Every structure is written in structure tokens, then in C-alpha cells.
Structure 1
Amino acid sequence: MNTTRLVAEVSTEEQAVFYKKTYLHLALGVLAFILAESVLLRIEPLVEFLLSMTQGYLWLALLGGFMLITWVAQNMAVKAVSKPKQYLGYGLYILAEAIIFVPLLYIAIYSTGGFDLINQAAIITGGLFTGLSIIVFTTRINFSFLKSVLIIGFFVAIGAIISGIIFGFDLGFWFSAAMVLLASGSILYNTYTIKNNYDTDQYIPAALSLFASLMLLFWYILRILMSRN
């Protein structure tokens, strides 16, 4: 018998336990991502291969593969009943993110001779993520309206990325800025949804959804810093 209840309907103590588990798993996901990157960036053949995949239609193929793995991982984490399968989905998604980030982080490191840009992007991302989360938890604003905006926004973004690859133009600073706004909206929406629509047993899917939005935000903040360097 399923005895789980919505987070919004349980006691404050039970909510605190759920949020502790969710954000602990988010933090562990970030740590796993960092550890994975530290290994992947040292594998020269892999780095060279992924850098070669950033050109033209190859990048489109890589993004397509990433989206497929993302779909599989998210379905495993959300729909699986057993915790091991949920963890497997979460781990698969973290690995996919680590792989897709390799070219961007490599360029950021070796174009500036260090980790300054990455550290700056991480601090800005963490600060913005924290601020957006506080807004959701300290106000009664209903962020469910963002669902339609995000769906349309992500389809437009995918269309712009595909067009840029096909026609060979750089999307530039303003696209990255728009994606930061979109990622911020995703954090607001996902946090609100976790707060109001998730069961108390869904802390792994909750952590995955926050991790996905956090990584998207980090990606485009780093791109903005790199473009202005």
C-alpha cells in the first residue's frame, strides 16, 4: 500500500525531512558532477573527440544523444518505484551532463589559463539559485503559470540552436542571457512544483529536476562570462 503524501499536506517536520533529503541529493549530484569532470577532462582522447563533435551537424548529433539520455534518465528517476532504479537514473543524468560539459569547461580552462571563469560562474549560479529558491519558499506566489512559458521557451531555444547549426551563425550574448532567464524560470517552477505537487518519497526525482535547471543556468552563465572575457 502506498502511504506517501504530498509534501504540501504533511507536517512541518516531515516537510523539513523531505527538503533535507532533496537538497542533500542535489548537493551530492553536484559533487558527483565535479568528480566526474575532474576525471573526464584528464582523458585526452575523450576530450579531443568531444571537441571535434562541437562542429556543425556533429554538435547537433551530440545534443540529440544528450536529449535522448536525458529522457531515459528522467523517466527512470520519476517513474521507477525502486530507489536503486531512481538512483541509476539520477546517476545516468549526472554522467550525461558531465560529458556534454567537457568541451565548454575545457575551452574555459585553457583559454584563460585557469579556473577563474568557472569559479565565477559557479558562485553566480549558486547565488542566483539560492535567491530564486528563497523567493519560492518565502512567498505565496503561484509559479505554476511558468509551465507554458517554459515549454514555449525551450522549443524556441531548440529551434534557434538548430537554426544556428544549420545556417552557421553564432547565437551570441543575448541568446545566452535569454537562456539564463529561462533557466531561472525553470528553477522557480521546479521548486514550486516540488513544494506543492511532489510526494514525500520523491526526493530523488526532485533533486534531479533541480540539478537539471541548475546545470542549465551554470552553462549559460559560463558562456556569458566567456564571451565577455
Structure 2
Amino acid sequence: MENTFNDKVLLSAGTDIERIEFYKKTYTHVAGGVLLFIIFEYLFLQSNSIVEFALSMTQGYKWLLLLGGFMFITNYAESTALKSSDKNLQYLAYAGYIFAEAFIFIPLIYMAISYTGNFDLIQQAGIVTLTLFAGLSAVVFVTKKDFSFLRAGLTVGGFIAIGLIIAGILFGFNLGLWFSVGMCVLAAGSILYQTSNLIHKFSTDDYIPAALGLFASLMLLFWYVLQIFMSRD
């Protein structure tokens, strides 16, 4: 009984075959999330009305409302995926979160395309993001270190970032390149934390919430890597 939580077997107490199967399922679902994100983003960008609406939501308090709505959906999706034992509900929560990510990315993707007239910046940022994601994940798997101690720092850093974003919107100042760099560091820490949870905290049946956490960290990193690329002269 000590190796179970809510009748689930912790991955750390599972067999090598169970761990490998769990990792395969988790990263397959992360890859599937990225693919679904691309499909949603492509469909959104085909509609001028959706693009115009998303761009209009970046102005002033509307952006705060959009961020607030996105944070609510994020919390709901993560809570549902983690606490529900219904796989259909977990998939629905994951898909809903990806949909929300794709929508909030519309203005940034649109500006990145307009910046160069092609997808070069997006491709470059994507390659850098995936390389960093793979490297950080490898650190956790090779060292087997428990990065749960990062949780407090990530929480504090997240609140500071939210405060700066709100202040920037309310007082009309640009957060600049170094904020994006700092957020990349925060996203990197989140990837380490989520990957560590993959090994030390989840059960063998929790591959969907594990994938959602990794996907969220991956997209946070991609957002700010892309912003850094767009800030270059």
C-alpha cells in the first residue's frame, strides 16, 4: 500500500517496462499536443475575423482579461487532468488547454509572420525551443535528480512575472529583451521541475497530466524564445 496513491502505482515503484511505457505515452502525448496546436493555429490564421479579434484583445485591459481567462483555463485543465480518473475527461481538458494556447498565440504568430513575410522566425524559434527542451529533459533523466525544490522559486517567479506584465499593460511600458530572457530561464526551470515530477511524483497512469505539464512549459519557453528572435534588429 505504501507504493500507491489513490490506488495508483507510483512510477518510482514500477518496473522498468512500466516506466519505459509511461515515458513513451507521455512524450507521445506531448508530441500530439504540439501537432494539435499547429493544426489549431493554422485554422485560426485562416480566418481574418478570428485574427482581428485576437489582435484587438492585445490592447490595454482586454489583454488582462484574455490572460485572466487563459490562466483560469490552465488551472482548470491541470486540475481536471490530474484529479479525474476518467481518461475522456482528461483528454478533453488537455485538448481544451491546447485550444486556449493556440488562441493566445495568434497575435504573436501573426506578428512573427508579418515581421519577415515567411515562417523563418517561427521555425528558428521552434528548433531552439525543442533543442533546449530536449537538453533540459536529458539533464533530469541522466542525473535522476529531484528538482521539486524549484517549485517555490517558480511560484514566486511566476507571480513576479504576472505583476510586471500587469504593470507594463497599465502603465504602458515595454518589458524588453531581458524580461524575455528571464522568462526563458523561468520556463527552463519549469521544464526541469515537470520532468522531475515525471520520474518521482506521478503514477504509471498519469501520462496525460504529465504531458499537459510538459506541454505548458514547452509553450512558455517557445513564446519567449520567439519574442527574443523578434527583438533582433
Question: Which band: TM-score by shorter chain?
Answer: over 0.9
Q: Deviations over 1:2-29 (max 9, x none)?
A: 6521111111111000000000000000
The amino acid that maps onto 1:162 is I
1:82 aligns with 2:76: no
Counterpart CA distance in 2 for 1:21 and 1:70 is 21
* 1-structure distance, mates of 2:197, 2:75: 19
- C-alpha displacement of 1:143: 1.1
Q: Give 2:25's aligned residue.
A: 21
Are the equivalent residues in 2 in contact too, given 1:33–1:95 (CA < 8 A)?
A: yes
Who is 1:225 aligned against?
229
Moved over 6 A (4+): none
Which letter does structure 2 place at the counterpart of 1:140? K
Quote the Cα distance in structure 2 between the aligned partners of 1:62 and 1:197: 32
Displacement of 1:57 = 1.1
Asked whether 1:167 is paired with 2:175, we answer no
Counting only pairs closer than 5 Å after superposition, residues 74-153 of structure 1 correspond to structure 2 as 74-153=78-157
Structure 1 match to 2:184: 180
Measure, in 2, the Cα distance between the counterparts of 1:139 and 1:74: 27
Alignment identity in percent? Answer: 57
Please report the TM-score for the alignment, with normalisation by the length of structure 1.
Answer: 0.98
Is contact 2:146–2:200 with CA below 8 Å preserved after alignment? no
- 1:59 Cα deviation after fit: 0.7
Q: CA-to-partner distance for each residue in 1:122-154, whole Å, 9 max, x for gaps?
A: 000000000000000000333111011100000
Code of the residue aligned with 1:19 in structure 2: it is Y
1:55 Cα deviation from its structure 2 partner? 1.2
Asked whether the equivalents of residues 26 and 208 of structure 2 are also in contact (C-alpha less than 8 Å), the reply is yes
**2:159 & 2:102 partners in 1: Cα distance?**
23
Query: 5+ unaligned residues in a row in structure 1: which ranges?
Result: none
- Partners of 1:121 and 1:84 in 2: CA distance: 33
State the distance in 2 between where 1:125 and 1:173 align.
17
The 8 Å contact of residues 76 and 88 in structure 1, kept in 2 or not, is answered as no
> 1:9-88, aligned counterparts within 5 Å?
9-88=13-92
Separation in structure 1 between the aligned mates of residue 74 and residue 140 of structure 2, nearest angstrom: 26
- Mean Cα deviation higher: 110-119 or 67-76: 67-76
Structure 2 residue ranges without an equivalent (≥5): none
Aligned to 2:211: 207
SS at the partner of 1:87? helix
RMSD in angstroms over aligned alpha carbons?
A: 1.1
In structure 2, relative to structure 1, the CA distance for the partners of 1:31 and 1:176 (3 Å cut) is same
The one-letter amino acid of 2:114's match is Y
Q: Is the 8 A contact 1:90 1:204 kept in 2?
A: yes
Q: CA deviation at 1:202?
A: 0.3
Q: How many residues align?
A: 229
Equivalent-residue separation in structure 2 for 1:97 and 1:169 (angstroms): 25
For the 8 Å contact 2:54–2:107, the answer to whether it is kept is yes
Q: Distance in 1 between matches of 2:129 and 2:9?
A: 32
Tell me the TM-score normalized by structure 2.
0.96
Instruction: Report the counterpart of residue 220 of structure 2 in structure 1.
Output: 216
Q: CA deviation at 1:53?
A: 1.0
